[in-house]
Chain A
């Protein structure tokens, strides 16, 4: 099984900050990686797929990069609506996929 590890687990930041979340895979997953935003009581929201492709309707302040085993999600200028938990997901072994443990982005 492919293990996904996100860091940090919690991130405190302010509106306007640039933040980066890292996701590491236990083995190469090429570029088969997605990022989701999840707020309590709501459906998770797809942000990025294939490591760096921005989902339609997602603000351009979100970007993804990486390949192989190391990936990043960057938010260029945090907005109030961005405080949420973020998950990476590998789908190299679809349909058996796996998620990172999540990164909770909190207001500093």
Chain B
């Protein structure tokens, strides 16, 4: 059974940092790209960041570029999101997702097969 378990959320002040973790099990973690998706209170889903299976490629939404860093440890089956210079608007539930799909001629089309339960990040003074 695939499990994605996020941790590391909490209450921080604007400008502070937080690191989220996502422990994966039930599949060959090193073989899959992963992403973080968030949901602000009362809002819809927003893609945040993605990382390739070997960690060699990373991608970010404009709203977090330069402040957030995605990484993974394939030996520990764990995905991370380092969040620096946090803003009030970063307040959200953050979900870890497993991406699946297909690639052709270097172009990939992947959707999110599994999601974790999420971890709440609250940025407030």
Binding site for B on A (CB under 8 A): 32, 34, 36, 38, 41-46, 49, 55, 87, 89, 91-92, 94-102
Contact = CB atoms under 8 A, between A and B. Distances in A.
Contact of B111 (A43, A46, A96): A46
Given A95-B33, A102-B44, A46 B109 contact: no
Nearest to B116: A43
A87 B115 CA distance: 14
B51 to A, nearest CB: 9
Main secondary structure of the interface of A (DSSP, over half): loop
Interface string B99-125: 101000000111111111110000000
A94 B110 contact: yes
Interface of B: 4, 33, 35, 44-47, 50, 59, 61, 95, 99, 101, 108-118
A22 to B, nearest CB: 16
Contacts of A102: 44-45
Contact of A99 (B46, B113, B118): B46
B112 A34 contact: yes
17 contacts: A32-B109, A36-B45, A41-B117, A43-B114, A43-B116, A45-B115, A87-B44, A89-B112, A91-B109, A91-B110, A94-B108, A95-B33, A95-B50, A96-B47, A96-B61, A98-B47, A102-B45
B5 to A, nearest CB: 11
Most buried by A among B47, B113, B116, B118: B47
